[in-house]
Structure 1
């Protein structure tokens, strides 16, 4: 037996009654929070490496007493993990995954990265925990931190594994009871059993209950819910809007980047909607999350072939339009929620400019005017910086190689029609005409009709002849067909016709691209007299 080390004279000895010199730090955060906020609304803990700070009575550890429970009492362990939505892969990564295994449904990308499609939608990265159970995981996880998942029998899809009711095998007969500190008058004498069994889960379901701002900012305005004072996001252009949004008091103003970071790291920390409920007309917090994903992910889902640059610019522009500025407002958040819901359900929208990226595009200016002359349109550069001026769409290398072999007018129409259909538009059947290729399309429950002339651009300039005169209608009929002609004539008369240019662009300083821009200048002046 090794000799016992002697205790140095004056060395402190730790006993249950001796306050610890280390802060009372809870379990590690599951997700990284680069927002300088405490996980799940907990108070920040500062660590004094020199041990010079004086501990307040409230920060001392609370004595614990172990007590017996009746034999028939079941104690079920509670595992803290983020909702499954936190682990969904971005839509732009799904096309790169291999097909599911015919037996397991697992998409194997090499030997270390396995993915599964969930029955309720979404695809997650798969991991195995210490007990050999499958769990959803993040790329940054050392150990999988998501809920357990299992394959749905008879299918290639998976699902979140239901929680096991009750306990099996040996039953625990221990509980923890918190006692009062002698110098802490505010401590509870005991923890109620219901509270003890559900408080861990409430950190995920109701973290906003810890957003009480009355202690930190007693004079601040806001609303009161169940005796808790909450700060609210500025209401915006309509101060009497019925929905307000409470916010974490440690958050300040939400610009696009700040809100996007919150939605990408911890959905539960986003502002929550609240509304007055009759007959007492008291405020109640909506139990549903305003947003289930980062804002860019909504764009990527409903417009799946938009390039990453275009997705980012559309999301930022949409945020600014909804909020009438760079900072989030209650009215703006409601507009975004309504738009995303309209997309999901296929409803008509009261704000078309928020719902369609084509309507977000600014009208570019053509140079050169007058009958018999050509117009020139210079395409904006394809860069990640700057405002939204063009939309670009991703093609696979196989699609590009196939298109480059001919680049005929018919192939260009077929290529663009396929892209538009995959974005949810209804495209009038392209005609076999090979000259002046063009398409007419619209969206269900959408008031606008789009006319797009197609071009193969080398460099940055589009040159287009003006075609006015009595024969222009006949040419238009050959370009788009009679049904499409009637549609655009009616839309033009009702000021619902949107003029676009698009096609392929090759340029030495940027990748090859399929693009769409807006010019709002009809090259068929005779339509104005219809």
Structure 2
């Protein structure tokens, strides 16, 4: 009888098959340095020569492979047909249903008997697939990962193996997931937050989840482990970047070759000081204004020797498109008038061409690394601002963070309208991107910046007036061309809404709109003799424009229109933008007054919103 071979002690080499799946599903501790680490193990070659090991894929590897099998290929997303602009649901050419899942791509889903959407885990029929959860204000979904999906099973590794493995190497957040965090420029120390208020820091190698320990130090933590790791991080002085905190030499574990390479090449760049105030008047070239702002914020910007954008260049100038030359390489830039010798251009990624809104918003949400990069002409050479991206988040996220009471549908409609109006076309080019960048920078710091182009500085200024001659108007649909209306979701200001709902009078409706608009940053003008009891007069600081909102009763589905004659002769004095005070009649003469109609509306599904649209 042949005896079975004796087990050979030692370390088993990890699975080295290429992982092409989504990095956000990686098991903690699993890294690309595993192959190099195992190759350095003493005696590894001798063991391979004496014993042949046939590895069995780990359960979590099979799970990842199964998940990839129900994920629609990223390079074929254009074949999916969107069901609704706000649903985040798509149908494939063969009629299957897919959901746009945050950080995971488009996953196959099924409708549960109770109407909920569920991911079918047919590879594990004894385990239920997770249900989808709609992301607030975004046409994307999330799902709660069960423990068996997050951790290897107990039979595969000892309890706590994930924690001990991840303690040796930092766990870096996937690039697309890191793009959804709050910008590091919002805090003096560069701390970033997710929607659950968990904390993250940026290092030269990537973004790390951290938490403050009892000693006041920041140490690495991650969702898949019950305890924080032993790795500590500290802020690099005078920057918003962080680094591994060094320990005494005898306690620091040997780093992998990959980490050594990163440490030697990815030198953190110093951050600039506070931006200088931008004094931009109406009519000033937006590209020039943005260039001055960027140069003041990045006065010490230099070309990074190992910037990923360097792979975008060509040795020979291509015949199609516009290009600039950097160090003998030609880089395509977004369309603009280069004959004027601009100081700012947008370097274009070779795999993505910004054009229409849907593709651009999808890119910012799921693949932000494909967005263009700023390049400024300084000291007779082009300098790429590699340390900052033009867009920190999707356009809808800029809007929802600034105007917190808008409904999801209005956020999406406003984002599309802003994209199209920025360039006065559905196809965006470089000047249009510069306009949007200036608007978002103004929104983020109104005290330090002036509004760029007046019609994009505020959502109410973007409303498209109705073309009608009747004395009454029907409430417009949100599906019209351009931005026809804005809706405010009572669920986001429930206290104000409940106070109104207990006594829905005309006076309380006026009070409700006043509270909502005031919280969203508008300055309300006290009641004057010019106004009726159902009208509001207000403005936004630093925008030379006045709004008059009328809240007439709804009669047969229509609203009574304005009689602007009384405002054309009003001598109410206002001071809206730091200029000299002037009467309301002057705003009317200069066409710097908007007449708005508003009220409440309940749709067929029973959802109530506060609406505002432009009369004239």
**Could you tell me the TM-score, scaled by structure 1's length?**
0.62
Q: Given the alignment of the two structures, is residue 282 of structure 1 paired with residue 381 of structure 2, yes or no?
A: yes
Asked if the contact 1:413/1:439 (under 8 Å) is kept, the reply is yes
In structure 1, what is the Cα distance between the partners aligned to 2:349 and 2:355?
A: 11
Q: 2:613 aligns with which of 512, 517, 530?
A: 517
RMSD: 4.6
Structure-2 change in CA distance of 1:359 and 1:158 (3 Å): farther
What is the match of residue 381 of structure 1? 477
Q: Unaligned 5+ residue runs, structure 2? A: 7-15, 26-70, 77-167, 184-188, 222-232, 235-242, 270-303, 576-580
Aligned partner of 1:410 in structure 2 is 507
Conserved? CA contact 2:597–2:615, under 8 Å: yes
Aligned residue runs from structure 1 range 257-272, under 5 A: 257-272=358-373
- Contact 2:537 2:549 survives alignment (8 Å): yes
Provide the rounded CA distance (Å) in 1 between the counterparts of 2:505 and 2:531.
7
Identify the match of residue 316 of structure 1 among 397, 412, 416: 416
CA distance in 2, matches of 1:332, 1:217: 24
Conserved? CA contact 1:440–1:451, under 8 Å = yes
* 1:497 to partner: Cα distance: 1.5
Deviation at 1:317, TM superposition (A): 0.8
Contact 1:89 1:125 in 2 (8 A): no
SS of the aligned residue for 1:231 comes to strand
**2:467 alignment counterpart:** 365
- Picking from 550, 554, 566, the partner of 1:457 is 554
Does the 8 Å contact 1:88/1:122 carry over to 2? yes
Aligned to 1:349: 451
- Mapped partners of 2:190, 2:520: distance in 1: 24
Query: Given the alignment of the two structures, is residue 303 of structure 1 paired with residue 403 of structure 2, yes or no?
Result: yes
Aligned to 1:165: 245
Task: State the SS of the aligned residue for 1:244.
Answer: strand
Aligned equivalent of 2:598: 502
Give the equivalent residue in structure 2 for 1:493.
589
- Paired with 2:505 and 2:573, the residues of 1 have a C-alpha distance of 22
Q: Displacement of 1:513 after TM fit?
A: 1.8
Q: 1:366 to 1:36 in 2, by over 3 A?
A: same
1:93-104 matches, cutoff 5 A:
none
Which secondary structure state, in structure 1, belongs to the residue aligned with residue 391 of structure 2? coil
Q: Equivalent residue of 1:326, what SS?
A: coil
Select 2:208's aligned residue among 118, 125, 147.
Answer: 147
Partner of residue 250 from structure 1, selected from 351, 360, 375 = 351
- Other-structure match for 1:393: 488
1:415 is paired with a residue of what secondary structure?
Answer: helix
- 1:23-34 equivalences under 5 Å are 29-30=23-24
Count of aligned residue pairs for this structure pair: 394
Cα deviation for residue 236 of structure 1 reads 6.4
Structure index of larger Rg? 1
How far the C-alpha of 1:379 sits from its partner, in A, is 1.1
Per the alignment, in what secondary structure is the counterpart of residue 149 of structure 1?
strand
Change (3 A) 1:431 1:408: farther
Higher relative contact order (CA 8 A, sep 6+): 1
Question: SS of 1:455's equivalent?
Answer: coil
In structure 1, C-alpha distance between the alignment counterparts of 2:171 and 2:267, rounded to whole Å: 8
TM-score, scaled to structure 2: 0.54
Compared CA separation, residues 434 and 465, structure 1 to 2 (3 A):
closer
C-alpha offsets along residues 148-193 of structure 1, whole Å, 9 cap, x if unaligned? 22148799x99995333335555556875xxxxxxxxxxxxxx996
Q: CA deviation at 1:270?
A: 1.2
Alpha-carbon shift at residue 436 of structure 1 (Å)? 4.4
Structure 2 CA distance for aligned equivalents of residues 247 and 33 of structure 1: 26
Alpha-carbon offset, residue 227 of structure 1: 3.5
